[in-house]
Structure 1
């Protein structure tokens, strides 16, 4: 875990970071899993370098706090707050308070895709993954997560029930501050799919036609859909996500900037530096210096 951010599986996450996990839970590969922060996550191995996961997870704090890096931002998740980390995001747990309590929920992509998402719901996963909940919402979610925990602990639990419970919890959190319930347009759905693909493939594939071919649409239509729903062109998304990845790599001072440029498949270190400055307003070396001072 010392060099490039690693893409880790559900099993690897628990093996690397949760030393007190039971054998049963270590080998649990269910598409929904729930753990008490105070029983498992509280003993997470810290510090760790940023990593990516093959699964999604939700941190829901009821007491104390968790400090979690998500991409290049750091969130302090206090009581009555939640943070959603999407598959493929760069993340790391940085700090936990001694009195922290709450729920840590792992879930696979199919749990999300089965929810009837609206246009504004997507902001939760891409621009607003952090939620502050009120007293009634907290109590409702605690009761629901306790029911989910009970269902998952059944010897032969019914997957449809646990899926429905988690989907209800996600919708409650997603729509905390969301009153725009317009159904998801085709353009928004294409934009959502495009950004999912870019998160997974941006290192190897930086050309728009790769993504339009997968989505079975023209380059022009992809450009229209993404720009219409996000205000940014597809190429801008590809560049920004790649540079965001480079910022994670730059946090490791043992890596040469040229090495990072080639690792991310830029044609040259100078081209990488120009693109980095275009996206962030500073050079890679200036970013690294500023980061390491904190």
Structure 2
């Protein structure tokens, strides 16, 4: 903790990489909302809790419908399509970056989603506690700007993430982030994100991670339920779908942009992976995320 406190010295409240939104600082005007409803790649961790009401978010082109006591979280590099606000919605949204996470006294294994479940359904007691902590954080950022000690904010963030980590692994054994296999899986995910359009071979990725191809297969299969090759292709196809839907890129140009030398091969792989032709994803007009 000494090292972490040292990192905090001189750090001002408004310099923390945290943002929080709720009904106390509600959605923007309809015109501004429309500009913000474009899909985007997250650069921070994202958490939304629905206190009451129903709304649908889209993460990596998959819909998640949330209602009372439901919480959704997403990680950096995932694709988020924000929804338009629905009526009678009470919610809390939180974003925080890796630098802020590094200031906390412990690690939270749920944030790497080892169980492949991006939603958490909170029971009534946990929901009540989590809402209280969200409310305190919201108050600190909304009302007490520049007046609250940074360590107090981090303490409440640590409490919130502890509650969510416990709820995520309820009736299951929490994953140790120091586990070598999980660490390698996290490294694998990072390599995928940073070299997506270069399309390195699985052998090259395994070599970069100082693993045999068999070991890499076993690790990725354990934490994602799929092979390294399929994981990479699925991530590449998700990026392709996003670009086809929300940009004016042609299928041919997109194939080259994603590292394919043969646009026809890209089209065949896209249909095999998604069950639809690439042209089926050329642009839709409704960006509401509903």
User: Which position in structure 1 is the counterpart of 2:166?
Assistant: 175
User: Which position in structure 2 is the counterpart of 1:271?
Assistant: 265
Pair 1:41-2:27 in alignment: yes
Cα drift, residue 244 of structure 1: 0.9
User: Which position in structure 1 is the counterpart of 2:191?
Assistant: 197
Cα drift, residue 93 of structure 1: 1.3
User: Which position in structure 1 is the counterpart of 2:6?
Assistant: none
For residue 175 of structure 1, give the secondary structure of its aligned residue in structure 2: helix
**What is the 5 A alignment of 1:99-248?**
99-110=88-99, 115-118=106-109, 121=110, 124=113, 127-152=116-141, 153=144, 155-176=146-167, 178=169, 179-184=171-176, 185-208=179-202, 211-212=205-206, 214-248=208-242
Distance 1:255 1:190, change over 3 A: same
Distance 1:227 1:199, change over 3 A: same
Contact 1:38 1:100 in 2 (8 A): no
Task: Give me the CA root mean square deviation.
Answer: 3.1
Cα drift, residue 154 of structure 1: 5.3
Distance 1:37 1:150, change over 3 A: closer
CA distance in 2, matches of 1:268, 1:116: 43
Distance 1:92 1:230, change over 3 A: closer
CA distance in 2, matches of 1:232, 1:145: 35
Gaps of 5+ in 2: 1-12
Contact 2:114 2:224 in 1 (8 A): no
Q: 1:285 aligns with which of 268, 279, 282?
A: 279
Contact 1:55 1:86 in 2 (8 A): yes
Contact 2:39 2:246 in 1 (8 A): no
CA distance in 2, matches of 1:212, 1:258: 30
CA distance in 2, matches of 1:274, 1:280: 10
User: Which position in structure 2 is the counterpart of 1:262?
Assistant: 256
CA distance in 2, matches of 1:54, 1:95: 21
Distance 1:42 1:288, change over 3 A: same
Distance 1:82 1:231, change over 3 A: closer
CA distance in 2, matches of 1:265, 1:29: 38
Higher RCO, 1 vs 2 (CA within 8 Å, ≥6 residues apart): 2
User: Which position in structure 2 is the counterpart of 1:89?
Assistant: 78
Distance 1:105 1:207, change over 3 A: same
Cα drift, residue 239 of structure 1: 0.9
User: Which position in structure 1 is the counterpart of 2:17?
Assistant: 31
CA distance in 2, matches of 1:91, 1:66: 14
Paired residues, number? 265
Cα drift, residue 74 of structure 1: 1.8
Return 41-50 or 130-139, whichever deviates more: 41-50
User: Which position in structure 2 is the counterpart of 1:17?
Assistant: none
CA distance in 2, matches of 1:183, 1:85: 18
